[in-house]
Amino acid sequence: MIRLLFFAHLGEQIGERQVTWPHVPKTVKQLKDEVEERYGISLGRVMTAVNEEYARDEAPLHEGDTVAFIPPVSGG
Amino acid sequence: MTEPLFAITDRPISVEDVMKKVMRPEAGAVALFVGTVREWTNGKRTLFLQYEAYVSMAEKMLAQIGAEIKEKWPGAKTAITHRIGKLEIGDIAVVIAVSSPHRAEAYEASRYAIERIKQIVPIWKKEQWEDGSAWIGDQLETTAYPSGKPEVKEE
């Protein structure tokens, strides 16, 4: 099981900011594909953080990870 | 109690409080950058902004920017506070303070800090206009991250 976090427009699109994902996909890429399919959203320009560190698509996932989907940021 | 150098807050920011965090005898200069909420952007009127953050990670990324500055300008000390929640026109959204022995490093590091905030810190703003609202991505909608990860910007 892993925890998914959705921010900004993503949270509004899927109607939840935090979701429990019942299984652990092998990689970030695999998770992104599953999430896109499940919610009908595009994660094309979205960055991913695993346990608060930016992660590439090929990064592996592990039980208990927190994965955040981070749209292009606009702070400042 | 020591105030953290890198903070996300939902309260108004005191510029002086952020500045005090970096003042020290070795410093001969403090550069302050204050980001405020702008009313007009390209002819469109903003009524107010809503900022959201991944708070725990945002504070870590602000600290990382402080560490990057320390590496590039070893004499510099940085403090950054960013506000989230509903902000009105003219409100302070972010304050960056950098102190250094001489002014050049403080100016350069301050500029570096705001550019990095706009690249790597997970904070988003939602613009509320007279006729609608939208989450703003990167300011010009021109930056893509093909690798899924922001590239580290070299000098």
B91 lies within 8 A of chain A by CB: no
Say if the Cβ atoms of A47 and B150 lie within 8 Å.
Answer: yes
Q: Is the pLDDT of residue B154 over 60?
A: no
Q: Is the pLDDT of residue B140 over 70?
A: no
Say if the Cβ atoms of B147 and A57 lie within 8 Å.
Answer: yes
Chain B hits for A72, CB-CB cut-off 8 Å, are 137-138, 141, 143, 145
- What is the gyration radius of the CA atoms in chain A, in angstroms? 11
CATH code of A8's domain? 3.10.20.30
The amino acid at residue B38 is: R
Alpha carbons A41 and B64: distance in angstroms, whole number: 31
* Dihedral over Cα of B100, B103, B104, B109: its sign: positive
pLDDT tens digits, one per residue of A19-70: 999 999 999 999 999 999 999 999 998 999 999 999 999 999 999 999 999 9
Number of domains in chain A: 1
- What is the gyration radius of the CA atoms in chain B, in angstroms? 16
Q: Is the pLDDT of residue B143 over 80?
A: no
Instruction: Report the largest interatomic distance among the alpha carbons of chain A, rounded to a whole angstrom.
Output: 36
Q: Which residue of chain A is at minimal alpha-carbon distance from B54? A: A7
Q: What is the pLDDT of residue B42?
A: 87
Q: Is the pLDDT of residue B97 over 80?
A: yes
Q: What is the pLDDT of residue B3?
A: 82
Q: Is residue A58 part of a domain?
A: yes
Q: Is the pLDDT of residue B139 over 80?
A: no
Q: Is residue A52 part of a domain?
A: yes
Say if the Cβ atoms of A75 and B137 lie within 8 Å.
Answer: no
* Domain of B42, in residue numbers: 6-134
Give burial (CB, 10 Å; 0-12/13-18/19+) of A29. middle
State both tokens at A1.
């099981």
Say if the Cβ atoms of A8 and B135 lie within 8 Å.
Answer: yes
State both tokens at A67.
């994965």
- Beta-bridged to residue B135, according to DSSP, are B126
Q: Is the pLDDT of residue B64 over 50?
A: yes
Q: Which residue of chain A is at minimal alpha-carbon distance from B84? A: A75
Q: Is the pLDDT of residue B151 over 60?
A: no
Alpha carbons B4 and B10: distance in angstroms, whole number: 15
CA angle B49, B50, B53 (to 5 degrees): 135
Q: Which of A8, A56, A75 sits opposite B147 (nearest CB)?
A: A56
Chain A hits for B82, CB-CB cut-off 8 Å, are 75-76
B119 lies within 8 A of chain A by CB: yes
Alpha carbons B96 and B123: distance in angstroms, whole number: 15
Q: What is the pLDDT of residue B150?
A: 57
Number of domains in chain B: 1
CATH code of B54's domain? 3.90.1170.40
A74 lies within 8 A of chain B by CB: yes
Q: What is the pLDDT of residue B138?
A: 59
Say if the Cβ atoms of A73 and B94 lie within 8 Å.
Answer: no
Q: Which ipTM value was assigned to this complex?
A: 0.96
Cite the beta strand spans of A7-61 per DSSP E.
18-21, 47-50, 53-55
A69 lies within 8 A of chain B by CB: no
Q: How close does chain B come to A22, measured CA to CA in Å? A: 23
Q: Is residue B99 part of a domain?
A: yes
Alpha carbons B128 and B142: distance in angstroms, whole number: 21
Q: Is residue B100 part of a domain?
A: yes
Q: What is the pLDDT of residue B120?
A: 96
Q: Is residue A75 part of a domain?
A: no
Rounded percentage of chain B residues whose pLDDT exceeds 70: 87
* Domain of A50, in residue numbers: 2-70
Chain A hits for B127, CB-CB cut-off 8 Å, are none
